Amino acid sequence: MGAVNLSDVVKRFGDFTAVHRMSLEIPEGSFLTLLGPSGCGKTTTLRMIAGLLDPSEGDIDINGRRVNDLPIHKRNLGLVFQNYALFPHKTVAENVAFGLRYRNVSRADIARRVQEALELVRLPHLASRYPAALSGGQQQRIALARAVVIEPDVLLLDEPLSALDANLREEMRVELKNIQKRIGVTSVFVTHDQSEALAMSDQVVVMSEGRIEQVGAPQEVYNTPASEFVARFLGAANILPAEARGIEGETMVLDVPGLPRLGIPRSRAPRLAGAGAARLVIRAEKLALTPVDAPADDRVSVPAMVEAVDYQGQSARYFLRIGEGENTHQVQAINMIDERPFAEGEAVSVRVRPRDCAALPLGTANGGGGSAA
């Protein structure tokens, strides 16, 4: 059993089902992210774990205890929300101490634990200030200190970084993960930001329309997506029609119209059992652009034409037409810029290593999964 277990959990709002029979095991001490677009059910799931919403069906266990009928204040959970929810009329120290005052903790212990929590988030010098005098990043850290000072069994974080600007967001996601590692608390993080999920998580739960699409380590869900939805949602993916020809040793052989035959590792096509219609998945950053006269290497090469360029400073996103004749495809490639970006209308070669590709059976636009352990 994990620290948190969901068993066949359903949540309905009238005739609308927000979460469809979801089963999930969250290991103790792990940092797990619920990731998906708006309306996918991730926040609803978090709020059911918190006790802010009651499941329509199914069971929720925390540390082996069924909590369906326990109110939020009896679940020993730390909560951090998008808007931080700090009390404007209380000082930083009073905000952090708030949860302890309802737990029969002595004044001396409250003072000690508040100090320790503020030191954990590196803000002990702000104890006497009020929230209005703090920056957004400081308020976020105080909200985190208030959540962990009670020594929760589980820390729940609902889009806590979304109100911050881009640079501070990157800084705070590193800080948040470091704090979680130091205290070792089981954490459930909700976000729609793929980079946050990949950078911070031990496990990522990708959700769509109230269902689990895939659960796995960040590298697993990124490199070996379980469905076209996961492939497209996590970064920029090129998905091309293919025909699986069969397995040769540890290689799955694929034909893609307009491209040379590919032999990709079987581990990158776990859902393909043999011959049949398929989809080839190539991440945009795995396609390398070279001049047409560049020396050959160990990669598969196809001719291409640059149709548009999205300049991004150190890198560029290229929109390309690859293949020849009737068998052409539009793809994206993201490459670092050496001397200059390739120009619109320029002929190039696009190269890819077969080991950097993945494949899916036809008909996996959505994984349709609902359970994971």
Same domain? 37 vs 128: yes
Task: Give the C-alpha separation, 95 to 145, whole Å.
Answer: 9
Tell whether the torsion through CA atoms of 233, 234, 235 and 239 is positive or negative.
negative
Q: Are residues 211 and 242 in the same domain?
A: no
Q: Tell whether 372 is covered by a domain.
A: no
Taking the CA atoms of 165, 171, 175 and 176 in sequence, report the sign of the dihedral they define. Answer: positive
The values of phi and psi at residue 317, to 5°, are -100, 125
- Nearest partner of 191 among 48, 75, 54, 81, judged by Cα: 81
Alpha carbon distances (Å) from 305 to 138, 270, 294, 349:
48, 33, 15, 8
Same domain (yes/no): 208, 272: no
Same domain, 19 and 102: yes
Please check whether residues 13 and 84 belong to one and the same domain.
yes
284 with 146, same domain: the answer is no
Q: In angstroms, rounded to a whole number, what is the distance separating the alpha carbons of residues 24 and 230?
A: 18
Query: What pLDDT does 121 receive?
Result: 93
Task: Write the DSSP symbol of residue 270.
Answer: T
Of 223, 258, 284, which marks where a domain is finished? 223
Whether 43 and 188 share a structural domain: yes
Q: Is residue 373 part of a domain?
A: no
**368: in domain:** no
Domain of 205, in residue numbers? 4-223
Contact by Cβ (8 Å): 163, 83: yes
236 in the same domain as 216: no
CATH of the domain at 69: 3.40.50.300
R_g of the chain computed on alpha carbons: 24
CATH number at residue 356: 2.40.50.140
- The encoded tokens of residue 189 equal 């993080």
Would you say residue 285 lies in a domain?
yes
Q: 238 and 213, same structural domain?
A: no
Is residue 149 domain-shared with residue 242, that is, in the same domain?
A: no
Residue 369 lies in a domain: no
Question: Of 223, 247, 279, at which residue does a domain stop?
Answer: 223
In a domain, 366, yes or no: no
Residues 20 and 54 in one domain: yes
DSSP 92-150: HHHHHHGGGGGTT--HHHHHHHHHHHHHHTT-GGGTT--GGGS-HHHHHHHHHHHHHTT
Does 304 lie in the same domain as 193? Answer: no
333 φ/ψ sector (left φ>0, alpha ψ -120 to 50, else beta): beta
Distance between CA atoms of residues 78 and 72, nearest Å = 10
Whether 370 maps to a domain, the answer reads: no
**Number of independent structural domains in the chain:** 2
Contacts of 123 (CB under 8 A, 6+ apart): 92, 138, 141, 142, 145
Query: Could you tell me if residue 284 is inside a domain?
Result: yes
Using CA atoms, how far apart are residues 189 and 177, in angstroms rounded to an integer? 11
Query: Who's near 125: CB < 8 A, 6+ residues apart?
Result: none
Last residue of a domain, one of 189, 205, 223: 223
- The predicted pLDDT at position 45 comes to 98
pLDDT averaged over 10-residue windows placed end to end, the chain, 373 residues: 92 97 96 96 97 96 94 92 90 95 90 96 95 92 95 95 86 91 96 94 97 97 95 94 93 92 94 90 96 89 95 94 84 93 95 95 66 50
Antiparallel, parallel or unpaired: β 371-372 and 16-26: parallel
What are the backbone dihedrals phi and psi of residue 166, each rounded to the nearest 5 degrees, phi first? Answer: -60, -45
